[in-house]
Amino acid sequence: MKNDLIIISLLDGNGPTGVETHFNQLIHEARIYGIDGAFISPYPSGRIWAKFARALARAIRLVSKEFADILGRWVDSKVIEAKLSSALSNRPSGAEPVTLYAQDPLSARAALMTRKTHACRVVAVIHYNVSEAYELFMKGEAKIDGPLWRFVMSTERKTLPQVDQIIFVSEFMRKVVFDRLPKIASVPQTVIPNFVPRSDAEGNQPELNADMISIGTLEPRKNQAFLLRVLARTNSLGYAYTLTLVGSGPDQAKLKALAKELDLEKQVQFAGFQKNAARLIPRHRVLVHAAQVENMPITLIEALALGRPILAPAVGGITEIFSDAVEGYYWPLDDIDAAAALLIKTLSDTETYHRFAQAALARYRKKFDSNLLVGHWLTTILSQQFLPRTYHHEIHLYR
């Protein structure tokens, strides 16, 4: 095999994010097709100039967090450029152009800089929600129209119209980005949903020992406080359920305090960061989600693959994952009473629950199975034809 595909990201590939789940799974699946998918990130970097620049960023942070983050991002992009240049300089003369698959606009910018001196194809995928700048604002890391906001938006504006291909994982985000950047109309683009491997847990379900599970960073956008308030409301109606919150983040202390205030400490488990968190889904009856905006959350697709009903808001690309009253319910984030009623109906009505569970697995097999989608992903990324697999090979969701 040769490095037909190099995936680049600001993330190190070892974290809990859906982005890392996506590209790690893609590398695994690509190798089944005989494609060597390499991965490059800014980490680790032993370059002296990078260490000096990061030390400078830490010093600047004492004065301005946003300018420090800008410098840190610039350093990351330059490290990626250096690593790409080193990797591509070893390719034999006359080799086919390599594809650089960028997971964020800054990585795409590094890839475009590399394209000036090496034969390569640059493909960008849009994982973020609304914009990277908006996500940073929701995390409290950037002010609207502040320096970091402007830097991130400028990177997107200058980069996306220059790439060779854009992939969106939801129609929702395609429309959002196109409205903001009509110049991308001239760039080949497509919408392909995220996928997860078919789980060997389908026929080997562990014993259920909890009711609800939510997986995601504990941060304002994910809105886990809503889940606690729904749980408190069902308690008041005589239905005591359990909730497992998987993930860590800046809201953890606040959420624990709220759980104590609502007298939910015995019902809520804060599981923290869990590697391969999807392995916990089969032990729970439903997956619940309360994010205020989403693109194409992989955790919902993992729930479908495991035959678990979903309760989530009808925001962003979530409506492209499952349908209301078919695989679960869209619950309103502004109506705790209505949300509690939907949760109770799902968990207490046996007929409804089993109908949702069967529909969830059927939805996964029809739309999100890796056997169906990986060929499409690879064909689009590499601009070559890769047929869908018609057989069921052994892929383990919990590797």
Rounded Cα gap, residues 31 and 66, in angstroms: 39
pLDDT tens figures, 354-396: 999 999 999 999 999 988 899 999 999 998 877 776 543 333 3
Residue 364 DSSP label: I
Q: Where are the domains of the chain?
A: 5-196+369-382, 200-368
Number of other residues whose CB lies within 10 A of the CB of residue 396 = 13
pLDDT tens figures, 108-124: 999 999 999 999 999 99
Q: How many CA atoms lie within 13 A of 179 on its CB side?
A: 8
pLDDT tens figures, 82-112: 999 999 987 777 778 899 999 999 999 999 9
Tell me if 5-196+369-382 shares its fold with 200-368: yes
Q: What percent of the chain has pLDDT over 90?
A: 81
What would the CATH number be for the domain defined by 200-368?
3.40.50.2000
107-113-115-118 Cα dihedral, nearest 10 degrees? -110
More confident residue, 176 or 202: 176
Average pLDDT over residues 258-273: 97
| 139 Cβ contact list (under 8 Å, min separation 6) | 219, 220, 221, 250
pLDDT tens figures, 129-160: 999 999 999 989 999 999 999 999 999 999 99
Rounded Cα gap, residues 336 and 234, in angstroms: 10
Is 246:215 a contact under the CB 8 Å cutoff?
yes
Identify the pLDDT of residue 132.
Answer: 95
pTM greater than 0.85: yes
For 44, the token pair is 């680790």
Identify the pLDDT of residue 310.
Answer: 98
More confident residue, 4 or 380: 380
Rounded Cα gap, residues 60 and 174, in angstroms: 36
Distances (CA, A) of 119 to 84, 99, 103, 352: 12, 9, 20, 55
For 210, the token pair is 């909890």
Class of domain 5-196+369-382: alpha beta
The gap from C-alpha 145 to its chain's centroid, in whole angstroms, comes to: 25
Task: Write a three-state SS string for 112-170.
Answer: HHHHCCCCEEEEEEECCCCCHHHHHHHCCCCCCCCHHHHHHHHHHHHHHHHCCEEEECC
Rounded Cα gap, residues 31 and 36, in angstroms: 6
Is 20:35 a contact under the CB 8 Å cutoff?
no
| 190 Cβ contact list (under 8 Å, min separation 6) | 165, 166, 167, 168, 380
